[in-house]
Amino acid sequence: MGQVRIGICAPSTPLYREEAEQLITLTSQSHPDAELVFHDQCFAIEGHFAGKDDLRCSAFLSLANDPSIDAIWFARGGYGAARIADAILEKLEPAAHDKSYMGYSDGGNLLGALYKAGIGTQAHGPMPVDMRREGGMAAVNRGLDWLVSKDRTALEPHVEPGQKYAAFNLMTLAMMVGTPLLPDLEGHVLMIEEIAEYLYAFDRALFNVTTHLADKGLAGIRLGRVSEVPENNRPFGEEAEEIVQRLCDRYAIPYLGSADIGHDVDNKVVPFGTLPD
């Protein structure tokens, strides 16, 4: 296998340049067959975002339309990808169809849109920003294992050949419902995860998702980790899994149990669709 060139842009919020330099150094040791190509846009700051919408869009397109780039890795989540997804889809060229795309959290907007459009292959999985977490290089290396060689040891353990999958942060998915970004999930096992949301907000978001997908032929839902739940002024009365079970029962969606995904260093890779050959 030759060198795998991984283009990194920030469709949502920025990284620090020193983080990119550190990651390049560490990757040269752990994955010498990978070359990380950070677009300068990753370090731009415009309020909340990694540069204005036009800059974030053009950075993504410059990497996606470059035939020398093999994969696109979203630097981090936050918020911002939905604002540029439509403009990106309108300007993608044939080279974009030959790439892998990976991220999670807010990046789910782009993963879903690309999957719906049949452009490249997508995966919910670790991002460069995960190096900030304690033990985070394990997650980053898992992401690189998948991007570089499609190493199946990086996969969420319930992913099996022949079955279709998709994975999203729940709040991101709930905001995609009713928009052109949501792909057709018929026949898919849907994996969801969440961070830093009250349980009532988790319930509300999942209600929106399950009511919309109730008649869309889901193969089932798996629940990843729901972490850093804020403490409400009174107990909600249900845990996250109970909420999922109740709504799955209500809308006749099979509840399939847990998923090994989340906003943490143990986040595993979930390819969209079926496993690549």
The answer to whether residues 194 and 209 touch, using CB atoms and an 8 Å cutoff, is: no
3-state secondary structure of 83: helix
In this prediction, residue 2 has a pLDDT band, given cuts at 50, 70 and 90, of: confident
The verdict on 169 and 145 lying in the same domain is no
- pLDDT 10s digits, 23-68: 999 999 999 999 999 999 999 999 999 999 999 999 999 999 999 9
Q: What percentage of residues in the chain have a pLDDT greater than 90?
A: 98
The verdict on 174 and 248 lying in the same domain is yes
The verdict on 177 and 136 lying in the same domain is no
What pLDDT score was predicted for residue 263? 97
Which pTM does this prediction carry? Answer: 0.97
Residue 263 covered by a domain = no
Give the chain's length.
Answer: 277
- Pairwise CA distance, residues 125 & 86, whole Å: 22
What pLDDT score was predicted for residue 277? 76
For 62-117, list the strands marked E by DSSP. Answer: 71-74, 100-103
Residue type, 200: Y
The verdict on 94 and 188 lying in the same domain is no
pLDDT higher than 90, residue 72? yes
Structural tokens at position 24:
């390049």
The verdict on 142 and 169 lying in the same domain is no
Supply the DSSP symbol for 228: S
What's the Cα-to-Cα distance from 56 to each of 41, 94, 163, rounded to whole Å?
Answer: 7, 20, 34
The verdict on 214 and 144 lying in the same domain is no
The verdict on 53 and 117 lying in the same domain is yes
Over residues 195-211, the mean pLDDT reads 98
Q: What percentage of the chain's residues is helix, strand, coil (to nearest 5)? A: 40, 20, 40
Residue type, 102: M
- pLDDT 10s digits, 214-228: 999 999 999 999 999
The verdict on 169 and 250 lying in the same domain is yes
Where among 153, 181, 200 does a domain terminate? Answer: 153
3-state secondary structure of 222: strand
pLDDT higher than 70, residue 238? yes
In this prediction, residue 100 has a pLDDT band, given cuts at 50, 70 and 90, of: very high
Reference 195, options 220, 155, 227; nearest CA is: 227
The verdict on 197 and 223 lying in the same domain is yes
Range of the domain at 181: 164-258
Where among 133, 153, 173 does a domain terminate? Answer: 153
Residue 12 covered by a domain = yes
The verdict on 62 and 17 lying in the same domain is yes
Residue 139 covered by a domain = yes
What's the Cα-to-Cα distance from 239 to each of 11, 78, 159, 172, 268, rounded to whole Å?
Answer: 32, 25, 25, 20, 23
What pLDDT score was predicted for residue 276? 82
Q: Look at strands 4-9 and 188-195 and give their pairing.
A: unpaired
Q: Is 219 exposed, middle or buried (0-12, 13-18, 19+ CB in 10 A)?
A: middle
What pLDDT score was predicted for residue 1? 56
> For the chain, how many structural domains are there in total?
2
Residue 268 covered by a domain = no
What pLDDT score was predicted for residue 60? 98
Average pLDDT value for the chain: 97
Residue 267 covered by a domain = no
The verdict on 193 and 134 lying in the same domain is no
